[in-house]
Amino acid sequence: MGNVGVSVSITGGAGIPAASATIKGLFSWRSTIMDMKGYSGTIGGGYNFGPTIGADIFTDRDGVAGFTLNFGAGASLVYADVHAFIGYSYVYKLFNINDVAYSAWNFTNNTIIRGDIK
């Protein structure tokens, strides 16, 4: 728990013709980001009116894994789109937030509270 990382996915799918560039916030109830590696499926939709907003539900080998919220810019033949994708995700761990918090606490405790500044 507490892992922060980057997921890179190779996907293919179908939907109403649309093009967009988005930033996604991924929310999952898996124990660690490393559980996100592997094959997955996604179904969702978006609203394209210049700015693009959307949401997707994704599944993996263990069932429904979470959802994404998407924000960006795009264009579509219609204002709303529905899409489905399958793909494979690679996961790269950057750091563990719990380790960062523990290190910050140790530094604060040892140097400021206890006065061990040398």
Beta bridge partners of 44: 56, 83
Residue 48 has phi, psi (to 5 degrees) of -115, 110
We find that the CATH architecture of domain 3-113 is: Beta Barrel (2.40)
pLDDT of residue 11: 84
| pLDDT tens digits for range 11-38 | 888 887 777 788 888 888 888 888 888 9
**Taking the CB of residue 33, how many other CB atoms lie within 10 A of it?**
21
Q: What is the pLDDT of residues 57-96, one digit of tens each?
A: 989 988 999 999 999 998 778 888 888 999 998 988 888 8
Do the bridges between strand 51-60 and strand 80-96 make them parallel or antiparallel, or are there none, so unpaired? unpaired
**In the chain, where are the structural domains located?**
3-113
Taking 70 as the threshold, does the pLDDT of residue 112 lie above it? no
